């Protein structure tokens, strides 16, 4: 698959990049995508939820009324779940929601997500660029030139670039990630994938099974 390389001004450079069919042109696996996104979302959960059961509620332990002769059901403790303020039955406990997922499944999920974006013509290959200092105005100009202002966009960098990250941090709808840190959720959540020219070979190197 041939894609034209464009520059920061949104103009064609005259160069093209060939996207590897094994990375950007496979038959996507929806189940692998489901598992990878499920793990990503599970890992984001804090799992600190907790509720007090009857053994932890701070109340008196005396018997609240006599056993017989009241005309009502027996009641031995105000901590009982049937009373207001009592302990909760099988309440939530702190736990870790994460689970293991094989590396090959995660790679397949990322490749599948990239293949979906390629089929949707949602991948833009951008000429490598950098900033001498953080400049949000220049990042806004680039998004305007690429006509992605009103779309969720993910910039894929070959390596970490602090100035580009800081320039985009305050812009709604624009995210920046390195090729080594990209995940399935980020790919699918973006309407446009802005891949820097050097990032193409980096992705192919990282995602080759």
Average confidence (pLDDT) over 88-109: 94
Residues 137 and 177 in one domain: yes
Please state the φ and ψ torsions of residue 123, each to the nearest 5 degrees: -110, 130
pLDDT per residue over 57-80, tens digit each?
A: 999 889 999 999 999 999 989 999
Residues 6 and 42 in one domain: yes
pLDDT per residue over 25-62, tens digit each?
A: 999 999 999 999 999 999 999 999 999 999 999 998 89
For β-strands 192-196 and 153-157, DSSP reports them as parallel
pLDDT per residue over 107-140, tens digit each?
A: 999 999 999 999 999 999 999 999 989 999 999 9
- The percent of residues above 70 in pLDDT, for the chain, comes to 100
Give residue 175's pLDDT: 93
pLDDT per residue over 138-164, tens digit each?
A: 999 999 999 988 889 999 999 999 999
pTM for the full predicted model: 0.83
Strand (E) positions, 19-164? 123-126, 153-157
Residues 38 and 87 in one domain: no
Residues 166 and 190 in one domain: yes
Residues 85 and 158 in one domain: no
Residue whose tokens read 């939820």? 49
Residue 209 has pLDDT above 90, yes or no: no
- The percent of residues above 90 in pLDDT, for the chain, comes to 79
> Which range of residues forms the domain containing residue 31?
2-46+97-207
Conformational region of residue 90, where left means phi above 0, alpha means psi within -120 to 50, and beta covers everything else:
left
Q: Among 91, 116, 148, which residue terminates a domain?
A: 91
Residue 51, both tokens: 């509720």
Provide the number of structural domains found in the chain: 2
Give dist(CA 51, CA 59) in Å, integer: 15
Q: Among 91, 118, 147, which residue terminates a domain?
A: 91
Residue 96 has pLDDT above 90, yes or no: yes
Selection from 120, 166, 131, 142 nearest residue 25 by Cα: 120
């Amino acid at each position: 698959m041939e894609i034209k390389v464009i520059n920061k001004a949104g103009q064609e450079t005259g160069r093209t990049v060939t996207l590897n069919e094994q990375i950007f042109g496979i038959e996507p696996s929806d189940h692998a995508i489901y598992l990878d996104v499920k793990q990503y979302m599970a890992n984001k959960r804090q799992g600190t939820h907790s509720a007090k059961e009857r053994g932890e509620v701070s109340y008196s332990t005396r018997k609240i009324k006599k056993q017989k002769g009241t005309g009502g059901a027996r009641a031995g403790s105000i901590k009982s779940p049937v009373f207001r303020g009592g302990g909760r039955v099988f309440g939530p406990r702190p736990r870790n929601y994460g689970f293991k997922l094989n590396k090959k499944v995660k790679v397949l999920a990322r490749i599948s997500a990239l293949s979906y974006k390629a089929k949707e013509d949602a991948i833009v290959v951008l000429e490598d660029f950098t900033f001498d200092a953080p400049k949000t105005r220049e990042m806004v100009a680039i998004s305007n030139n690429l006509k992605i202002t009103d779309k969720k966009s993910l910039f894929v960098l070959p390596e970490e670039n602090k100035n580009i990250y800081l320039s985009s941090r305050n812009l709604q709808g624009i995210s920046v990630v390195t090729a080594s840190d990209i995940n399935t959720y980020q790919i699918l959540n973006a309407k446009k994938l802005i891949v820097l020219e050097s990032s193409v070979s980096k992705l192919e190197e990282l995602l080759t099974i």
